Amino acid sequence: MKDVLREVLDKVPNYNSFKTFRELEDSTDLLVREYKDVVRVESIGRSRCGEEIRALIIGNGRLKALWFGAPHPNEPVGTLVLDYLSEKLVSDDEFRRFFDYTWIIVKVADIDGLKMNEGWFKGPFTITHYSMNYYRPAGNVQIEWSFPIRYKRYSFENPVPETRALMNIIERYRPDMIYSLHNAGFGGVYYYISEEAPLLYPIFQLYPKSLGLPLSLGEPEVPWAVELSQAVYKMVSLKDYYDFIERQGMDPLQVIRHGGSSFDYAQQYNQDIVELVTEVPYYYDPRIEDVRDAEENISRREAILEALEWQSKIYDFIREVWRDVKKIFSNRDVCSESGRLIESIDYFVETVPKSIEAEKRWANTDPSLSRRAKISEVFDNRYVTRFYTALSLGMLRRLLNIEAEKISGLKPYLEKVEDVHQKILSYLESNRDYKVIEIRRLVQTQLAAGLYTALYIQTRRR
């Protein structure tokens, strides 16, 4: 068992860049031409801007596994996982037959968004270059977070076309496993899984360490995440977010604007489904897994509130600029670069303040936060928070840079945003402890977690 999987993991290529959408499509076409008796392609829908979304169907096993890449388009590690996995499944009969699965592989879920990120795919892989070419869709049109859902008083019934394509696959195949191939930006490796699976936790924790990757032992991504083991969390749901907002004495209907996840949706077709997410970062710093007490005398509550104050400060700055420039823009075509950025910034300005308010209420009242902060938690709240606010500013800077060439009067705003953005980037770049992780190790980590989880499900359901 271990030899089969180990051989596949050891043969992951030494990638020096990410593949563009067209490169991934060319790879798919070549695979189908060479192995037409083993693999077929299904057209499962079209993107908002008309690109064909395709799924590779490989094998004819009893169990069904849906793996899809780029559910968020700034997260392309999974596209390489799927590009490599699909080639191994069709070319290696022993490996394919080792699994009793029918594989449904969608290399790129968000095609339009992926193309918006291709400016950084070939490097250099610095925080500055990433931030300057970064794009993430508005929350209510993100593929992973626009599945239809109803919970208590909330409902969302407006999935984007890409989500509808995945919904159709889920309805037809009723998968036993879903692997939504997300990845993080800065920090360490961590996981979400939809059920308690203690047999998998040592693999999740030890495999990345064998490659020299740290686990993310700072703050969980969201305060309502339930930790199952070190760096392993129960799959989060919109329902959890709703309940969290409610516990803070706020009305969830005034805060939530997006839909459910693939797991939220898939449960209605297969109650036994297992979904996995493996978050691997592009950049890391050893402090993210240092669980010693922080040298400075700071509580976890103080560290979290410091991060939230920083987020509020950057939000207020973006809102102030956006209030002045938004009315100038006439381009609302979501198939244009500017139109996409406008949609994202609009959503950010509308939704962030109430989200921050809910987290501040939690941070001020949760008694578990009174203990002394760990080094990992201080690092997460101080540095990782700045990294993610730099990405929001980067989208605004990118938009203003495009439009300032066409619209008079925008240059002063561009210079203002550039100044704040550059100061954050200089702060992060001068923090010389951070390292860029080799792409191969990110692919190996995601692939290992997915394959061992697939084997775990297969063993349980004999």
Q: How confident is the model at residue 20 (pLDDT cuts 50, 70, 90)?
A: very high
User: Could you tell me the two tokens for 7?
Assistant: 């051989």
Residues 131 and 31 in one domain: yes
Please write the tens of the pLDDT for every residue from 295-335: 999 999 999 999 999 999 999 999 999 999 998 887 679 99
Q: How far apart are CA 126 and CA 379, in angstroms?
A: 19
CATH number for 70: 3.40.630.10
Domain count of the fold of the chain:
2
pLDDT of residue 1 exceeding 60, the answer is no
Residues 277 and 300 in one domain: no
pLDDT of residue 405 exceeding 80, the answer is yes
Which amino acid appears at position 202 of this protein? P
Q: Token pair 């956006």 is at which residue? A: 322
Q: How far apart are CA 275 and CA 456, in angstroms?
A: 12
Residues 215 and 107 in one domain: yes
Residues 324 and 195 in one domain: no
Q: How far apart are CA 435 and CA 442, in angstroms?
A: 13
What letter would DSSP give residue 80? H
Residues 301 and 370 in one domain: yes
Residues 412 and 454 in one domain: no
Q: Token pair 């801007």 is at which residue? A: 49
Residues 359 and 410 in one domain: yes
Please write the tens of the pLDDT for every residue from 261-278: 999 999 999 999 999 999
Residue 67, burial from CB neighbour count under 10 angstroms (0-12, 13-18, 19+): buried
* The pLDDT of residue 33: 97
Residues 410 and 301 in one domain: yes
Residues 217 and 332 in one domain: no
Tally DSSP H helices, then E strands, for the chain: 16, 13
pTM for the model stands at 0.97
Residues 209 and 326 in one domain: no
Rounded to the nearest integer, the mean pLDDT of the chain is 97
* The pLDDT of residue 431: 73
Please write the tens of the pLDDT for every residue from 234-264: 999 999 999 999 999 999 999 999 999 999 9
User: Could you tell me the two tokens for 260?
Assistant: 């459910």
Sign of the CA dihedral with 398 first, then 404, 406, and 409 last: positive
Note whether 258 and 177 are within 8 A (CB).
Answer: no
Alpha-carbon Rg for the chain, nearest whole angstrom, is 22
Residue 301 contacts by C-beta under 8 Å, 6 or more apart in sequence? 363, 364, 366, 369, 370
Q: Token pair 């339930």 is at which residue? A: 226
Window from 16-25, 69-78, 95-104, 403-412 with minimum mean pLDDT: 403-412
Task: Give the structural domain span for 321.
Answer: 290-433
Note whether 214 and 104 are within 8 A (CB).
Answer: no
Of 283, 325, 289, 311, residue with least CA distance to 409: 325
Note whether 86 and 79 are within 8 A (CB).
Answer: no
Residue 351, burial from CB neighbour count under 10 angstroms (0-12, 13-18, 19+): middle
Q: How far apart are CA 122 and CA 142, in angstroms?
A: 24
How many residues are listed for the chain in this entry?
Answer: 462
Rounded to an integer, the average pLDDT of 54-67 is 98
Residues 442 and 429 in one domain: no
How would you write 148-209 as a 3-class SS string? CEEECCEEECCCCHHHHHHHHHHHHHCCCEEEEECCCCECCEEEEECCCCCCCHHHHHHHHH
* The pLDDT of residue 120: 98
Of 462, 460, 379, 383, residue with least CA distance to 424: 383
- In degrees and rounded to multiples of 5, residue 74 shows phi and psi of -90, 15
Please write the tens of the pLDDT for every residue from 340-378: 999 999 999 999 999 999 999 999 999 999 999 999 999
Residues 207 and 259 in one domain: yes
Q: How many CA atoms lie within 13 A of 188 on its CB side?
A: 29
* The pLDDT of residue 35: 98
* The pLDDT of residue 331: 66
